[in-house]
């Protein structure tokens, strides 16, 4: 993969990735800010600001003016807010590069936040909050976070609460944007069928005027000590029970983070992965199972989520723990290790076929790690990993005393789940 990273005098980081022959181009503007940068009383502010950037600028005064212009050139566009990054992007035919760059740059820098639109958008975001509150999978995950990180930034939802959203004013939006959308906090990523000279020309002309002020720092989540497994049951009349399991692990800069990714894919990295075979093929417990290793600046956790019947929750919890424990005591075979490495390598390549894939890949690494590892470098890193590495890191990841379980459903036997954990 060919890319180049540079910086403007005001601190804006610029990543360019020309893709010769690619018919599209993607422009992405990312900011190192999100829910972890908010005070408790302003929870949801980063997300609301992201929504409001599509509501009008001096040259495009209405939401319709923005979306109509993007739609008229067949662009794909969106924005997102996470705990530690907010992003805005658009993708279109490469011949429309200057047009989409101008639009994304305009809403990023010049949004006016009309009072009327703020009040209308509060209804939209409160509806979004209600939508996720009705989703039992989401409710289980949020209950887990609230239990594990009570009183910490990681407890709070990215959307905020209805109360904090309703309290947002134009003044708070303007002040937050001023504090966070500054040069040192901004990453520009452009990928696709445009020359590097044209990419840099646009960036230099349009983003050199961003402030070079130092942004507000992240509010770090402080891990509490956990000495034994913890179980949380949420009683809700659902057709299916949903289970989320999380082991407290380590933060993003830990040297074993890449091996942990390999462990994640051994457990759930395809239809031949261990959890898929155990829970779905052998036990027929339910339709979905997923695993992820969430890594943040000051903390991390390894999570597994699945759905099953209400009466089988304890059984499924026991099975997941057994599969995790096996990785600590039984060396993975060379055949399985090679299969998982090839699965990861191939999926990484397939996830970089389009300009938006490449832009997202580069922006994510720069935002979270401050450095970019190429696919070829990743291949070398994973190529050196051994069965002993897997066992060693599994012992770190799956410390049962650091396990928390949240289950949501109707009449789940809490004592049976506690017994399954112990």
For the stretch 129-160, pLDDT in tens is 999 999 999 999 999 999 999 999 999 999 99
Amino acid 422: pLDDT: 87
Amino acid 272: pLDDT: 98
Amino acid 97: pLDDT: 98
What number of other Cβ atoms are within 10 A of residue 208's Cβ?
Answer: 12
In percent, the amount of the chain with pLDDT more than 70 equals 100
Amino acid 186: pLDDT: 98
pTM for the predicted model, two decimal places: 0.96
Average pLDDT across the chain, whole number: 97
For the stretch 51-63, pLDDT in tens is 999 999 999 999 9
Residue 252, SS3 per DSSP: coil
pLDDT at 361 over 90: yes
Q: What gap in Å lies between CA 21 and CA 28, rounded to an integer? A: 20
Nearest to 386 by CA among 347, 343, 338: 338
Q: What gap in Å lies between CA 161 and CA 152, rounded to an integer? A: 15
pLDDT at 190 over 90: yes
For the stretch 321-351, pLDDT in tens is 999 999 999 999 999 999 999 999 999 999 9
Confidence of residue 119 (pLDDT cuts 50, 70, 90): very high
Residue 173, SS3 per DSSP: helix
At a CB cut-off of 8 Å and minimum separation 6, what does 296 contact? 36, 83, 84, 154, 221, 251, 252
What is the DSSP code (8-state) at residue 406? E
Question: In the chain, count of helices (H) and strands (E)?
Answer: 16, 11
Distances (CA, A) of 272 to 266, 333, 378, 416: 9, 14, 22, 29
Q: What gap in Å lies between CA 403 and CA 228, rounded to an integer? A: 7
Amino acid 227: pLDDT: 95
Confidence of residue 405 (pLDDT cuts 50, 70, 90): very high
pLDDT at 1 over 90: no
Q: What gap in Å lies between CA 118 and CA 169, rounded to an integer? A: 8
Mean pLDDT of 401-419: 97
Q: Cα dihedral angle (237, 242, 247, 248), rounded to 10 degrees? A: -60
For the stretch 213-224, pLDDT in tens is 999 999 999 999
């Amino acid at each position: 993969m060919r890319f180049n990273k540079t910086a403007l005098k005001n601190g804006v980081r610029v990543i360019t990735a020309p893709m010769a022959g690619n018919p599209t181009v993607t422009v992405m503007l990312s900011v190192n800010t999100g829910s972890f940068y908010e005070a408790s009383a302003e929870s949801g502010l980063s997300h609301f600001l992201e929504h409001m950037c599509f509501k009008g600028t001096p040259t495009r005064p209405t939401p319709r003016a923005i979306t109509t212009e993007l739609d008229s050139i067949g662009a794909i566009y969106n924005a997102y807010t996470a705990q530690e990054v907010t992003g805005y992007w658009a993708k279109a035919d490469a011949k429309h590069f200057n047009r989409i760059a101008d639009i994304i740059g305009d809403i990023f820098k010049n949004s006016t936040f009309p009072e009327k639109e703020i009040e209308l958008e509060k209804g939209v975001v409160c509806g979004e909050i209600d939508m996720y509150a009705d989703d039992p999978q989401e409710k289980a995950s949020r209950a887990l976070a609230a239990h594990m990180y009570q009183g910490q930034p990681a407890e709070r939802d990215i959307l905020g609460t209805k109360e904090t959203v309703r309290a947002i004013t134009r003044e708070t939006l303007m002040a937050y944007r001023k504090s966070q959308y500054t040069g040192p906090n901004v990453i520009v990523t452009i990928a696709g069928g445009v020359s590097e000279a044209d990419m840099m020309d646009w960036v230099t002309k349009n983003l050199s005027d961003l402030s070079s002020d130092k942004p507000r720092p992240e509010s770090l989540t402080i891990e509490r000590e956990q000495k034994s497994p913890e179980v949380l049951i949420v009683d809700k009349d659902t057709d299916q029970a949903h289970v989320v399991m999380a082991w407290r692990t380590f933060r993003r800069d830990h040297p074993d983070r890449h091996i942990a990714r390999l462990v994640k894919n051994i457990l759930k990295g395809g239809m031949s992965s261990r959890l898929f075979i155990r829970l779905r093929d052998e036990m027929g417990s339910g339709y979905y199972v997923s695993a992820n290793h969430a890594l943040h600046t000051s903390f991390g956790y390894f999570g597994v989520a699945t759905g099953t019947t209400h009466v089988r929750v304890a059984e499924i919890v026991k099975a997941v723990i057994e599969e995790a424990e096996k990785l600590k005591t039984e060396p993975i075979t060379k055949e399985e290790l090679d299969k998982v490495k090839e699965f990861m390598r191939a999926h990484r390549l397939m996830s970089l076929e389009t300009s938006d894939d490449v832009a997202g890949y580069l922006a994510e690494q720069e935002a979270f790690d401050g450095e970019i590892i190429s696919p070829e470098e990743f291949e070398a890193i994973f190529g050196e990993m051994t069965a002993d590495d897997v066992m060693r890191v599994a012992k770190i990841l799956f410390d049962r005393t650091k396990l928390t379980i949240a289950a949501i459903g109707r009449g789940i036997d809490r004592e049976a789940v506690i017994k399954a954990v112990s």
